[in-house]
Amino acid sequence: MSTTNGRRILMAGCGDLGTRLGLRLVDQGHRVIGLRRRVAELPDAFETIAMDLSRLGAPERGGADDPVRSDPRLDALDAAIITLTPDEPTRDGYERSYLQGLRGLARVLGSQPGRVVLVSSTRVLAEDPTRVITEDAPLAPGSGPGEVLAAAESEAAELFDHLTIVRPAGIYGPGRTRLIDSVRRGQRFNHQRWTNRIHRDDLVRGLERLALGSEPPDLVHAVDSLPAQMGDVAAFIAGRLGVPVPGHADDEKPSGKRIDGTRFGSLMGELGYPTYRHGFASMLTTAP
């Protein structure tokens, strides 16, 4: 572990979230190691390790007769932040990236990090628009990627000590404009579907607090303070764009989830974008 104020922190996966978090940590004097398949585009401020975790964690790789070459920098880490991305949006893609990726990471670590933060998803929770869902809710994913993510959470709990699981919902922000684009096109929505969101910048700050804080929670739902029905969100965006409010989907009915963000709010103190209105207003003010 680190003997000075600067900590040694691994970004496993190190896509957009990991890179932005890593840059914040470097600015604070911490030593950041970015690990992913291709590292050429990672910032020069990072140390880098090119490694395919999903390949290293594949079922055919295992046992004492199949050693894995590690890297000495993967020993005595203060923290490891795991932000994996599926190579395709299918069950198989999620199994390769999450289940095999976690097993691969466990195989190459020289020792248990002081803290491990796994970014999962609220897809592991059951849909129920009639109640507010807290961190006490049981895992109840549907089939497919959500089921794999639930298995990944259980796998991580077996593999890593000092684990915190973060479940973001509806990450949006600069470069994440799918909903805005859909409203602009006039795509129809289920206006009664409950949705939850977190702005990318608030999520990155939350991961920073979990990486550096003294007593992080074991589980936190990374959502803002206002679950909202899709019709309200689409109407707000349409008003900002100056386009008609999108129409209603056929056979629409109440659905989705209302996720409580109290624990994340307590962790953060104050969100930069406490509701979808704040976040989308900022995006649409700066968008062309």
pLDDT of 167-210, one tens digit each? 999 999 999 999 999 999 999 999 999 999 999 999 999 999 99
pLDDT band at residue 288, thresholds of 50, 70 and 90? very low
Contacts of 107 (CB under 8 A, 6+ apart): 56, 57, 61, 68, 70
Q: Is the pLDDT of residue 64 over 50?
A: no
Q: What is the share, in percent, of the chain residues with pLDDT greater than 90?
A: 90
pTM higher than the cut 0.85: yes
pLDDT band at residue 2, thresholds of 50, 70 and 90? low
Contacts of 124 (CB under 8 A, 6+ apart): 139, 140, 141, 146, 149, 150, 153, 167
